[in-house]
Amino acid sequence: MIKDPYQLASVFLGLVLLSVWLDSKYAWARKISPVVMILFLFFCAVGAMINVKMAIVCSPVLFAYVMIMVVVHMISIYRIGRLLCLDIRILTIASAAAKSGPPTVVALANMHG
């Protein structure tokens, strides 16, 4: 778990440098826009601050409730989408918008085109 803002900034800078290196070395990384790559890396850096073990120990009922909600959401979205013959990429972006908000939707929408 990262407790210091300077550690977070250094992790983020390291991830940005890693994305630049991947972009120069591998063909699959060139297909992803640099802005989207930086957005994904920002989410990784913020996620590095989360202590999942402590969250599970402190509130296992809340963790189970959230997991059940996410699974039920995914099953219902994809089943209804399949019945209505909707594109799975659009369903995934809509599902991300419902669960995690606008920043992740921008990254997913840019990645999927």
pTM of the predicted protein model: 0.47
42 with 60, same domain?
Answer: no
42 with 65, same domain?
Answer: no
23 with 73, same domain?
Answer: no
Eight-class DSSP state of 4: S
Tens place of pLDDT for every residue, the chain, 113 residues? 556 667 667 777 777 777 777 777 776 666 666 777 677 777 776 666 677 777 778 778 877 888 898 889 889 988 998 999 888 888 887 887 777 777 777 777 777 66
Specify the number of domains making up the chain: 2
16 with 69, same domain?
Answer: no
Segments forming the whole domain that contains residue 20: 1-50
5 with 41, same domain?
Answer: yes
46 with 68, same domain?
Answer: no
Query: For residues 41 and 34, is the Cβ–Cβ distance under 8 A?
Result: no
Q: Of the candidates 9, 33, 50, which is a domain's last residue?
A: 50
Which residues are CB-neighbours of 9 under 8 A, at least 6 positions away?
Answer: none
